[in-house]
Amino acid sequence: MSELRVREQDGGVVFEVRVAPRASRSRVIGVQDGALKVALTAPPVDGAANEALRKLLAKTLGVSKSDVEIIRGDRARIKLLRVDGIRAADVRFDLA
């Protein structure tokens, strides 16, 4: 495991996420190569996994779902996310 690379940008934070869709349960797994690794029960069809990712991270970070934006990788397993309203020091995950 490595450390999550988070950078502050315009009143929010930006970091990479590696998504594993169709998992048995949705959860934050850990950090791999500087990116957050997340398992999602949703399939990567019609944006279901992206919505599940936004919902999970919003709940985990204590922000609204509208504050979580996928800025790159909408159709890829590796995504770049922006979360508004928090600082890099506020980004903490309970790893399962």
- Is residue 89 within 8 Å of residue 32, measured between CB atoms? no
Q: What is the pTM of this model?
A: 0.92
Domains of the chain: 7-36+45-82 (3.30.1200.10)
Kindly report the average pLDDT of the chain as a whole number. Answer: 93
Which two structure tokens, joined as six digits, stand for 32? Answer: 């791999």
Mean pLDDT over 72-89 rounds to 96
What's the pLDDT at 92? 81
Q: In the structure, what pLDDT confidence band is assigned to residue 95 with cuts at 50, 70 and 90?
A: low
Region class of 18: left (phi > 0), else alpha (psi between -120 and 50), else beta: beta
Write out pLDDT tens, residues 15-40: 999 999 999 999 999 999 999 999 99
